[in-house]
Amino acid sequence: MNQLDQLKQYTTIVADTGDFQSMKAFAPQDATTNPSLILKAVQKDEYKPLLEGAVKEFKSESTSTIIDHVLVNFGLEILKLIPGRVSTETDARLSFDTEGTIAKGRELIEFYEAAGISRERVLIKIASTWEGIRAAEVLEKEGIRCNMTLLFSLPQAIACADANVQLISPFVGRIYDWYKKNTGDDYFGDEDPGVQSVKRIYNYYRKFGYKTEVMGASFRNTTQITELAGCDLLTISPELLKKLSESDAPVERKLSPEAAQSADIEKVTLDEKQFRLMLNEDAMGTEKLAEGIRLFCADAVKLEKLVNHLR
């Protein structure tokens, strides 16, 4: 078996792309998108109709509502190709607005349900700020499942699990990027700080009985992926899916609920003050969260400009 098929024995494989045509060859279970991936996709000729169609049909609506329909249009097309769930992201500019995020999550689900898609097949992506986590807690109680993104640290993961969210997406590659830039060192295999972070979170969840799913994200190479074999899910770009499918190197399971029981981890009790303090003590987590929100906000603005140009 190639590495991708071996991984599928231990882990649910998710395609991380807005270019849904490229995922057909790899048969992922689920798929994820984000503002940057959608912005990149709508500038390709084959996907422009999804943008132009939403603008034409909802021309009288606000720019924000049109963009939501663009995101849902992509989600609907992706759901035709996969058996599982699609993740659709809320506006990053709502990252510190609990009520705004709740309203946006409800709106996106409403659009999916109006198109005949049950809410069980959709994950609403929300930044893992304190405000975002509180919004997800409310949405989960309404049966709206959430995927907590821009997650770089253990306190973020713990707060998400305490809020009973469906799934988290810790960012392996961006953690690696930060440490490489700040230390000048490169990291390989299980020495990779991004890999270590996801292993720590996975072991914490399984040791203390949390049901929240862990989905490693933002990979820079296939070694980061294979080091997390056994993680609940891994969301992988088409480029790296292709590399995995072309390699027959052995893949060993690295994570399991059984092994997590022996992990040397203490349980942490978090309130808002403790969450903010612990995150502030983590320079990497603080910087990458802020940077990630800025980047997604910038791409949201670019998408707005594209929509307004077509109106």
Catalytic residue positions?
125
Neighbours of 105 (CB within 10 A): 26
Would you call 140 helix, strand, or coil by DSSP? helix
Paired residues of 54 in beta bridges: none
Q: Which helix (H) or strand (E) is 25 found in, with range?
A: none
Residue 16 neighbours by CB under 8 Å, 6+ apart: 31, 32, 37, 217, 235, 236, 237
Q: Do the strands 233-236 and 213-216 form a parallel or antiparallel pair, or are they unpaired? A: parallel
Q: Among 216, 222, 206, 310, which Cα is nearest to 259's?
A: 206
- Return the DSSP state at 44: S
Do residues 11 and 233 make contact, with C-beta atoms less than 8 angstroms apart? yes
Whole-angstrom distance, CA of residue 209 vs CA of residue 37: 34
Sequential DSSP letters for 3-32: HHHHHTTTSEEEEE-S-GGGGGGG--SEEE
Nearest to 166 by CA among 185, 187, 146: 146
Question: Token pair of 12, please?
Answer: 């649910």
Tokens of 86: 């699609």
